[in-house]
Amino acid sequence: MRGRRIGKRAVANLLLLPLAAWLVCFALVPMAYGVWLSLHNAFIENLSHPTWSGLANYAYLIKDPAFARALGWSLRFALISVTLQMVVGVALAQLFNRPIPAKGVWITLLLVPMVVSAALIGTMFRLLLNEVVGPIQFLLNPITHGSVLLGPKLVTLTIIVADSINSIPYIFINIYAALQSVSVELLEAARVDGASAWQRFWHITVPLILPIAAVTWLMRLLAAVLIFELVFTLTGGGPGNMTQSATIYIYRRAFSRSDFGMANAASFTLGLLLLGPSLLVVRRMMRPTG
């Protein structure tokens, strides 16, 4: 019996070897190399033999106003956009959590933007909002009074709208799934006792869906802070550096200035800043239910 258990354990470990090898080769080794590069002055011309700089790259980042602006823009964008997306996503989930004709069709259509890549949505919006040939820009000119939607005044709002179209379906489907676990009998009992629709939602529905809503909000917040494809294809970080996110800053450091040491230092600084919220998400997801 003991030999059989050891044999099963050996087979299980053997089956885990491909995954372990993949993690080592494509996660741990690149991460270790990135940490090593962040401690060197590593440019394209000396990438094979970079010079040691210690923590100089990290010290520079702390004082760099461009990195601070990029990080500040990313945090403001994430907080505003994800909060608005949560409000709309919860409202849509609540709307669909009742008998509706052809509900399956409407939900399918609502989820379509979620499967479209952010880069494609950014490219589509860039064409639709082009100040010369963009149809949306032309139709909204009377409202915007000639202001370009990708210009300095409205560009951040435009990115929030584009990101919301791509992200609200994800929030909607999570909250909609959470609403399915809310007891109909409990809501009906509250209604019979005289509770209004708002009271039933606030005192019964919200507490029951809050764990999933909190994890959804945190996961979307982390993804919004790390936004890259949408901003890169829609504005490229412009006009100027107005919409330069932290990830765009890292990209420009690495591929425009070929400063791979500083780019890796910025990447790990951003990773450390997001480590706390990431661990909180993992802790919430691993918490047993019931």
Give how many domains the chain has, as a whole number. 2
Indicate if 87 and 197 belong to the same structural domain.
yes
Tokens of 136: 């949306």
> pLDDT 10s per residue in the chain (290 long)?
555 666 678 887 888 888 889 999 998 999 999 999 999 999 988 888 899 999 999 999 999 999 999 999 999 999 999 999 999 999 999 999 988 898 899 999 999 999 999 999 999 999 998 888 888 888 888 787 767 888 888 899 999 999 999 999 999 999 999 999 888 898 889 989 888 989 999 999 999 999 899 889 989 999 999 999 999 999 999 888 999 999 999 999 999 999 999 999 999 999 999 988 888 777 776 666 55
Q: Is 94 a domain residue?
A: yes
Helix 65-96 with 206-225: angle, nearest 10 deg: 150
Kindly state whether residues 22 and 158 are assigned to the same domain: no
Residues 69 and 22 grouped into a single domain: no
Same domain, 115 and 6: no
Residues 217 and 119 in one domain: yes
Pick the closest to residue 33 from 264, 267, 273 (CA basis).
Answer: 264
Q: Residue 244: what pLDDT?
A: 95
pLDDT of residue 229: 94
> Exposed, middle or buried: residue 84 (CB in 10 Å: 0-12, 13-18, 19+)?
middle
Furthest C-alpha separation in the chain = 81
Same domain? For 268 and 152 the reply is yes
Q: Are residues 24 and 156 in the same domain?
A: no
CATH code, domain with 106: 1.10.3720.10
Residue 47 covered by a domain: no
- Residue 256 corresponds to which amino acid? S
Task: Select from 163, 160, 153 the least CA-distant residue to 239.
Answer: 153
Domain range for 18 is 1-29
- Give the pLDDT confidence score for residue 36 in this predicted structure: 94
The answer to the question of residue 45 being in a domain is no
